[in-house]
Structure 1
Amino acid sequence: MSYGMLLFIALLYIGITVYLGWLGYQHTKSSKDYMIAGGEVHPYLMAMGYGSTFISTSAIVGFGGAAAVYGMSLLWLTAFNIICGVFIAFVILGTRTRSMGAILNVQTFPEMLGVRFRSKFIRTFSAIVLTVSMPLYAAAVMIGGARFMEQALQVNYTAALLIVAFIVGAYVMAGGMKGVLYTSAFQGTLMLLAMFLLMVLTYVKLGGITAAHQALTSLADKVPASLVEQGHMGWTAMPETGSILWLYVITTLVMGVGVGVLAQPQLAVRYLTVKSNKDLYRALAPGGVFILMMTGVGFTVGALSNVFFNDKFGKISLLMAIDPATNAPNIDKIIPLFITEAMPSWLGYLFLLTLLAAAMSTLSGQIHAIATSVSYDLFKSSRGDKGQLKLARYGTLFGFLVTLLISFILPGNIIAIATAIFFGLCAASFLPMYVSGLFWKRATVPGVTWGMVVGTVVYVFDMLFMHTKEATIFKVSQLILGKDTIAGFPWNVIDPLVIALPASIIVTLVVSLVTKPMEQSHIDKCFGFQSLRNQETTNTLNR
């Protein structure tokens, strides 16, 4: 490895990132600039900012590693990500969010929900859920970037974590949303280029598309017996319907993340950064292509890594990624190892920057969301706009430190699991309330309040006491009850979202229908009818 060349490329990348962060700082003059970039962002910047915040090292490293274990079945997640995460998100939720956000003059996701329902509790509870859960997801992203740096550069894992965290924390603290979007557009473009090259070179390495997939299919007899017992039927086939792996792949990885993206606060706020709904439509194409390349290529290459490792070392990917510290497989190491072993060194350099870009772009959006929730929704400054801007930067420091601390605590094999937890919790807590606020005029404050609380409580309880994947990590059930989980099959495998989201929806609907509707004048204002009626009255008087 040419460390001189790698150092030059890394310094060039960091230099560009720092410059764009500084540019964001120069253009950040108010709290509105810091929160939503002034609300006049170009569609391409918005699409790249949205996509690179959505897709991170958790998708490329964590879920790519998961695809190396579970196979092409994860491509269903790519389909869900494009349908839900781009088309439904932009065309249905995004346009209404942008319009309502402009009418209500709001700058954060919790603020929009709180103002829409005239409830300080809703705003505060939403901000608390976001502030408590987001660092877990951010830590997973930080771990993904650090793991690849550790593998590619052979540097200490702790040092890698500190490097990633420091760079991101610095430019988010300085440039706010503008710094986030400027750097994310650059990083997203770099990610697109690298993933395209990775796809092409992987197929070239394995003898072409047809040969690669046929070789992967023929490896079905290499599946470990423990996975076969759980329903694994090969890397090009879906797990056996109803099996442990089928329930995990479908309910946790596909549904949990594919549906959970619709209620991501750090993504929803992106809709407020553009000046018209037409700009959201213009962002559809680059946003869709970006998600397709990031997840589709990542999951495909992850599965195909089994062919390369089997041909070269006689082992499947899972058995190549043994962690010396635990002497157990760590799927978070599979993609970094594949890049190091299978790809030319120059792509390894480029991919190192790509994963750093993926980590930094997502982390910047996450830490920005934590900062605005803490500084704006929970502890709003009474010292005017300049005081609010200063407080927001303190909030960024808080998010940065908490995320870094969690990164040191979390165990291995955590990236995909932590991502699914955050996505699922957001869907259970926010999605019924978010959709009701945007489209259902009959939704009431008690209805959405109880729906949000019930969704959150049910999800957290299921995660800590029933679902085996998380219960065995957090060990709350073991500590209190003396056993890993209180549920048997299939409830210990079905993702908490499958139970918590319907519970949240039902409670929101039922309680709203039996409680007093909100004032019509407020509903008219939220849905843009009040200004229309005022204009009609003015026209009548003029006539």
Structure 2
Amino acid sequence: MLARAVGAPEITIVVVYLLVVGYLGWLGYRRTKTATDYMIAGRRIHPFVMAMSYGATFISTSAIVGFGGVAGMFGMSLLWLTFLNIFVGIFIAFVFLAGPTRHMGHRLDAHTFPELLGKRFESKFVQVFCGLVIFLFMPLYAAAVLIGGCEFISTNFHIGYEVALFVFSVIVAVYVVIGGLKGVMYTDALQGSIMFVGMVILLIGTYAILGGVGPAHDGLAKAGEAPNLFGGIGFRGWTSMPEFGWGEKLVPGKQPNPTGYDLWWIVVSTITLGVGIGVLAQPQLAVRFMTVKSKRELNRAVLVGGIFILTMTGVAFTVGALSNVYFKQHETVRGRLISLSGVGKKPAEWDWVIAKKERGLNLNKDGTLANPAIGPDEKSVPCVLMHLDTTGSGEADTHLVYKGYGGAAAIMPAASIEGLGEGEDVASRIGQQVVVHPRATAYTRAVVEKEGKWEFNGDSIIPMFITSAMPRWFGLLFLLTLLAAAMSTLSSQFHALGTSIGRDVYEQVTGRHGRGVAVTRIGIIIGIVIAVLISGYARGGYIIARATSIFFGLCASAFLPTFIGGLFFKRTTKAGAIASMVVGFVVTAFWLLFVKDQEARALGLCQALFNKRSLTMPLATPISPNWHVVDPIVVALPLSFRVAIVVSLLTRRPSEEQLARCFPSQAKTS
């Protein structure tokens, strides 16, 4: 069992790591002499550093903790995201987009992603609009990364989540604000290397614990045959894709199930397409292409980037799914049984563990509680919980589901205690040392307490697996892996956020070009504060994956048609670019506020305006069979592309002078 207390080895190694990171940030500061150095690292970064920086920025605690946790919930269907990450995020991005982005960025002397688009279309609006979208919504993605890092830090250092959040944010802010992109990319290369080593060892260790590759996957297939909490939305096992369909699922002899195909649309549209396509329009990634001096460096970076992404996401998603085998068949928890809770004959006496939390989830149409035992915004499972002291501190530090009540009994763990006789009451073991086999799935093992209530937290699956399954030395290595993953992504996020408000908004709106770096650094601090506030408020559920998908999908819908049109099609006009960006943004916002049920319910605007949690409710009406779980990118991105094409064809093409600047070898051809 990984020690939860902070010891001298942990403190020493983390301090050494932070000193090295600080040195690299200082080195970046020493070598940052101009705005070009600060914004795009002087355009002379080594291809290995660029590839590792790109990969480390792309892969964060969001991928390892957040999406790894989702794989623990929904299974290996997430490996399709690994395929898209490599094919789209590396192959298409580096082979087709990187070269034109680098060439055009150099020719137009663009320092940021919004500036590249603004100069390509000679539009201050394009640059300012793009900068504002990044500045306003990047904190959502940053919050997802912060949550992932702090979940693990707070668990392993036995400190409060809020303290971890504050300390971690300050560390990241210091070296980003001081070091510029050179400092960011130097630290990214170090952090990417740590991440790679940590994930390789994690995969090997997981298979060793589970008895090898074959037994591990056989065990996962068998575990998926049992009744599951997600069976009602199309779950068919951790080694299978969810059940595909559109509309109500019809089963002979049973009532139609309006949510029977929801999981397929969640996994494919939100998790896979949202992130898999959205990576092409990530400003903090696209700017990396402008940091190398030639196309040869980009080509040399493809192999490094591909191997890195395959290892990071492939391992995270595979281990996340396989954690179900460990928790169900192999986990043994030793400690003193402090107490049992939820024991009783009445629902009011049971422990109701929150499985889902959204606005109005437990309300009838007349506003009364559907289940009086739980809150208005909860969907909960009735259970008996065991609370154990596994560290000798005298306080309960591990919380397990002992059994479920009623209809939940079949889908909840049936924990067993070694030596407990048939008919013997488990309460008789309170105060004694016990050996417990939880027999839980990854999701039902991840029980956490938040604001005095118990809930299943998908974002806790990977931290709990590492804590329970791995030796202490690996826990420390993985801590550094997550620190590296979070810091590399956060530093680049905040750098992109700061340059967006400083160079792309402030300088363009005010016309003052001498204070861009100062405003950038102020913008970074503002962005960090916003991200920290979101992190403290939104923690719980699988918010890491959801927030990441929202930001990636928004960037794809708002920026990708303009980005591709600007790089490859001379006929794309300023009006077409503006219309495409506005339509992509507006449709995405409308979908999140009024159509996609989980987000619309949480935001509450649809409820306030129309007295409905979303416009797609009630379920399975002729106009809304599965729209309530379809991601905005499925609708917004095609509309954005179509608008860019139609408006560009209906408006005057750019001037020959502008085309000559952007496409010097093709300016006179049509």
Question: What's the TM-score once normalised by structure 1's chain length?
Answer: 0.96
Which of 227, 235, 260 in structure 1 is aligned with 2:238? Answer: 235
Q: Compute the displacement of 1:529 (Å).
A: 2.6
Which protein has the larger Cα radius of gyration, Structure 1 or Structure 2?
A: 2
Q: Compute the displacement of 1:530 (Å).
A: 7.6
1:300 equivalenced with 2:284 (yes/no): no
Q: Compute the displacement of 1:223 (Å).
A: 4.2
CA distance in 2, matches of 1:450, 1:384: 28
Q: Confirm or deny: 8 A CA contact 1:57 1:358 kept in the other structure.
A: yes
CA distance in 2, matches of 1:475, 1:358: 33
SS of equivalent to 1:350: helix
Q: Hey, what does 1:502 align to over in structure 2?
A: 638
Q: Confirm or deny: 8 A CA contact 2:221 2:239 kept in the other structure.
A: yes
Q: Confirm or deny: 8 A CA contact 1:147 1:157 kept in the other structure.
A: yes
Q: Hey, what does 1:130 align to over in structure 2?
A: 134
Q: Hey, what does 1:538 align to over in structure 2?
A: none
1:328 equivalenced with 2:455 (yes/no): yes
1:364 equivalenced with 2:483 (yes/no): no
Which of 365, 371, 394 in structure 1 is aligned with 2:522? Answer: 394
Q: Compute the displacement of 1:359 (Å).
A: 0.6
CA distance in 2, matches of 1:459, 1:391: 29
Q: Compute the displacement of 1:11 (Å).
A: 0.7
Which of 95, 101, 108 in structure 2 is aligned with 1:104? Answer: 108
Q: Hey, what does 2:222 align to over in structure 1?
A: 218
Q: Confirm or deny: 8 A CA contact 2:656 2:667 kept in the other structure.
A: no
Q: Confirm or deny: 8 A CA contact 1:222 1:316 kept in the other structure.
A: no
Q: Confirm or deny: 8 A CA contact 2:656 2:668 kept in the other structure.
A: no
Query: Map of 1:15-414 to 2, 5 A cutoff?
Result: 15-224=19-228, 226-242=229-245, 243-311=261-329, 312=331, 313-325=438-450, 326-380=453-507, 387-413=515-541, 414=543
CA distance in 2, matches of 1:472, 1:340: 34
CA distance in 1, matches of 2:31, 2:517: 13
CA distance in 2, matches of 1:5, 1:121: 53
Q: Confirm or deny: 8 A CA contact 1:521 1:530 kept in the other structure.
A: no
CA distance in 1, matches of 2:605, 2:160: 31
Q: Hey, what does 1:539 align to over in structure 2?
A: none
Question: What's the TM-score once normalised by structure 2's chain length?
Answer: 0.78
Structure 2: any 5+ residue segments left out of the alignment? Answer: 246-260, 332-437, 617-623
Moved over 6 A (4+): 530-533
Greater per-residue strand proportion: 2
CA distance in 2, matches of 1:530, 1:261: 29
Q: Confirm or deny: 8 A CA contact 1:95 1:271 kept in the other structure.
A: yes
Q: Compute the displacement of 1:394 (Å).
A: 2.0
SS of equivalent to 2:110: coil
Q: Deviation per CA, 1:347-384: give whole Å up to 9, x if none.
A: 10010111111110000000000100011011128676
What is the root-mean-square deviation of aligned Cα atoms in Å?
Answer: 1.5
Q: Hey, what does 2:625 align to over in structure 1?
A: 489
Which of 584, 596, 609 in structure 2 is aligned with 1:480? Answer: 609
Q: Confirm or deny: 8 A CA contact 1:455 1:504 kept in the other structure.
A: yes
Q: Hey, what does 1:448 align to over in structure 2?
A: 577
Q: Hey, what does 1:520 align to over in structure 2?
A: 656
Q: Confirm or deny: 8 A CA contact 1:257 1:424 kept in the other structure.
A: yes
Q: Compute the displacement of 1:393 (Å).
A: 2.0
Q: Confirm or deny: 8 A CA contact 1:465 1:471 kept in the other structure.
A: yes
CA pair 124-528 structure 1, distance change in 2 beyond 3 A? same
Number of aligned pairs?
Answer: 531
Q: Compute the displacement of 1:406 (Å).
A: 1.9
Amino acid at match of 1:244: D
Which of 560, 563, 576 in structure 2 is aligned with 1:431? Answer: 560
SS of equivalent to 1:221: coil
CA distance in 2, matches of 1:94, 1:528: 18
CA distance in 1, matches of 2:316, 2:227: 21
Moved more, 2-11 or 74-83: 2-11
Structure 1: any 5+ residue segments left out of the alignment? Answer: 534-543
Q: Compute the displacement of 1:274 (Å).
A: 0.5
Q: Deviation per CA, 1:452-498: give whole Å up to 9, x if none.
A: 10111001100111112322222222232222211133111111100
Moved more, 471-480 or 485-494: 471-480
CA distance in 1, matches of 2:13, 2:511: 45
CA pair 382-119 structure 1, distance change in 2 beyond 3 A? closer
CA distance in 2, matches of 1:92, 1:223: 46
Q: Confirm or deny: 8 A CA contact 1:140 1:419 kept in the other structure.
A: yes
Q: Deviation per CA, 1:50-91: give whole Å up to 9, x if none.
A: 111111000000000000011000000000000000010011
Q: Confirm or deny: 8 A CA contact 2:659 2:667 kept in the other structure.
A: no
Amino acid at match of 1:473: A
Q: Confirm or deny: 8 A CA contact 1:455 1:503 kept in the other structure.
A: yes
CA distance in 2, matches of 1:467, 1:81: 24
CA pair 482-272 structure 1, distance change in 2 beyond 3 A? same
Q: Confirm or deny: 8 A CA contact 2:572 2:648 kept in the other structure.
A: yes
SS of equivalent to 1:324: strand
CA distance in 2, matches of 1:127, 1:477: 28
CA distance in 1, matches of 2:574, 2:193: 42
